[in-house]
Amino acid sequence: MTEIHVTNPATGEIIASLPVDNPETVSQKARYARDAQKIWAHTPLSERLRLMQVFRLKLTEQQEALARLLSEEVGKPIRQSRNELNGFLQRFDYFQDQITAVLAEEEVYTELGLSETITQEPLGLVANISAWNYPWLVGCNVFIPALLTGNTVLYKPSEFSSLTGLAMARLFQEAGFPEHVFEPVIGGRETGEALLEEDLDGLFFTGSYGTGTAIATQLAGRLLRVGMELGGKDPLYICEDVDIAATAAAAADGAFYNNGQSCCAVERIYVHKQIYQAFVEAFVENVKNFVVGDPLAETTYIGALTRGQAAISTLRAQVKDACAKGARLLCGGEHLMREGAFFAPTVLADTNHGMVLMREESFGPVIGIQPVYQDEEAVTLMNDTPYGLTASVYTPDRARARKILSQMQTGTVYWNCCDRVSPHLPWSGRGHSGLGATLSKLGIQAFVQPKAWHWRG
């Protein structure tokens, strides 16, 4: 494969053809980025911060065009593309604010004639293999702190968001970053595999569990820093004491925002039996009101499925399996008969854990709802998954929520909210959901290595 075709998933139209990096060009980029790192590591932090501010300015000047490009490339509704870029800026600002303190030399011990200090040094050359569902947000988690801490980055965007990846590289160039400090690598699986063959000091991956394990297999025997943000099957539990209308609206948004293509999208819902029927009705009402259509239209809430037919086949199979095993299909259930890859927002009730829908990541606009009789049952079901990204509970009772959430085997828990990420908090998955953490101070420390200094004299 020498070219990659970028297709608009809402129309099926090819909007660009790009040359793909092969092992030779990947090696050349890795060499350039390795050389550039030696200089970048010694560029004063004040200069790195200054360049970042120019990058920020360039981005804000082009924000609307970048949002449109993202919508055209991945099928995301335009308002959600704008939200993503605003979210990028929020995370970006957090890293700028924290970096000086995290990199400051720390004196940890003194005695007569002796001082012990710690400094933080960059890892060196890091690769970032990324996903398409939030290219700006998940990219920001990695390449902004990586660059700020003095690493150079080989950035491989998903083959479904290559134009956005190239736009990021162009912004760094326009901002005046030295050449090869941020080097885009274009292509799919084979290009990713070639990248892993390079002499890297760190590999930061965002994508599916399956690819994560393939990467771990390829890296076996090599000692380099690895971070992985992988998939989820995130549960939400609704207790009987909630405001049903408000909770149904929040849960529907948590499940269907970005067409359900969020790592922390609500993927399964458990509802206390006492309010089950009323909740399901209110939930379906919300879902039926979602506007599906042209990602560039201001009113659209559900856009096109980025992965096209492959995504439709997965969703269709999950719906078929659930219906065959006794689930009630309350709305949706099929792709839409129009050009592009659209799937009707789908709600299935009376689900159980014998159904694929409740066990494997859907990553699309399909949700299963299951009744539960008590909190203990909800806790058991919520933990019945190899994934461990997020879990949420809705109840006005904080103590009850704490008891439930403290039993979750997940990196993030939510009380009366869901599907949200904060730059101040570590973003980490357990089990099949990942390794290490991004965001927060931990997400800066992920890109440095400590040096211990013993000063006598």
User: Interface residues with ligand NAD (CB under 6 A)?
Assistant: 129-134, 138, 156, 158-159, 188-189, 192-193, 196, 206-208, 211, 214-215, 229-232, 263, 361, 363, 389, 429, 434
**Nearer to ligand NAD (CB atom), residue 330 or residue 421:** 421
Nearest-CB residue to ligand NAD?
192
Q: Minimum distance between the CB of residue 192 and ligand NAD, rounded to whole angstroms?
A: 2
Residue position matching structure tokens 């004196």: 107
**Which amino acid is located at 238 in the chain?**
I
Q: Are 420 and 265 in contact (CB under 8 A)?
A: no
Helix (H, G, I), strand (E, B) or coil at 419: coil
**Nearer to ligand NAD (CB atom), residue 215 or residue 280:** 215
Closest by CA position to 237, among listed 427, 53, 376, 411 = 376
Q: Minimum distance between the CB of residue 234 and ligand NAD, rounded to whole angstroms?
A: 9
**Nearer to ligand NAD (CB atom), residue 192 or residue 293:** 192
Contacts of 14 (CB under 8 A, 6+ apart): 5, 6, 7, 8
Q: Minimum distance between the CB of residue 259 and ligand NAD, rounded to whole angstroms?
A: 12
Rounded Cα gap, residues 76 and 57, in angstroms: 24
**Nearer to ligand NAD (CB atom), residue 248 or residue 418:** 418
Q: Minimum distance between the CB of residue 363 and ligand NAD, rounded to whole angstroms?
A: 6
Q: Minimum distance between the CB of residue 457 and ligand NAD, rounded to whole angstroms?
A: 47
Q: Are 233 and 266 in contact (CB under 8 A)?
A: no
Q: Minimum distance between the CB of residue 256 and ligand NAD, rounded to whole angstroms?
A: 15
CA angle, residues 400, 402, 407, in degrees to nearest 5: 105
Q: Are 200 and 224 in contact (CB under 8 A)?
A: yes
Q: Are 151 and 202 in contact (CB under 8 A)?
A: yes
**Nearer to ligand NAD (CB atom), residue 126 or residue 239:** 126
**Nearer to ligand NAD (CB atom), residue 40 or residue 136:** 136
Q: Minimum distance between the CB of residue 286 and ligand NAD, rounded to whole angstroms?
A: 23
**Nearer to ligand NAD (CB atom), residue 51 or residue 69:** 69
Residues 296-334: b if buried by 16+ CB within 10 A, e if exposed: beeebbbbbbbbbeebbebbbebbeebeeeebeebebbe
Residue position matching structure tokens 């203990």: 376
